[in-house]
Amino acid sequence: MMNICKTIHDEITDLFDCYEFREYIRIETPFLYPDGDIIDLFYKGQNLSKKITDLGGAYDWLKLQSTTEKKTERQEEQIELICISYGVEFYKGEFFIDLDKGSE
């Protein structure tokens, strides 16, 4: 699974760093949330299933911007806009891309 790290370093840039994290490969990006925290992505490739997820990091940040427990209408709109704009899916608090979709 570490060959994805080699690919990132060889073909993308040294601004990204990656290493094993539980059953994932953690990819530290040079991108930041508005509060300055680093945006991390997590790659999981097992058998025939491959995906990249934020493990809920973006949604956790979004929840901190509200005082209510439930998602506000504005947050629902933001989540929908993120999914449409970036071609990602949202499920149980995680934004993710199923890398196997479309290859069937």
pLDDT tens digits, residue range 19-61?
888 889 999 999 999 889 999 999 988 766 789 999 999 999 8
pTM of the model: 0.82
Question: Does the residue 104 lie in any domain?
Answer: no
CA angle 26, 12, 41 (to 5 degrees): 25
Question: Does the residue 11 lie in any domain?
Answer: yes
The residues pairing with 53 across neighbouring beta strands, listed in sequence order, are 42, 96
Tokens of 53: 């997820």
For residue 12, the enclosing domain spans: 3-98
Q: How many domains does the chain have?
A: 1
Q: Answer for the pair 87, 95: CB distance below 8 angstroms, yes or no.
A: no
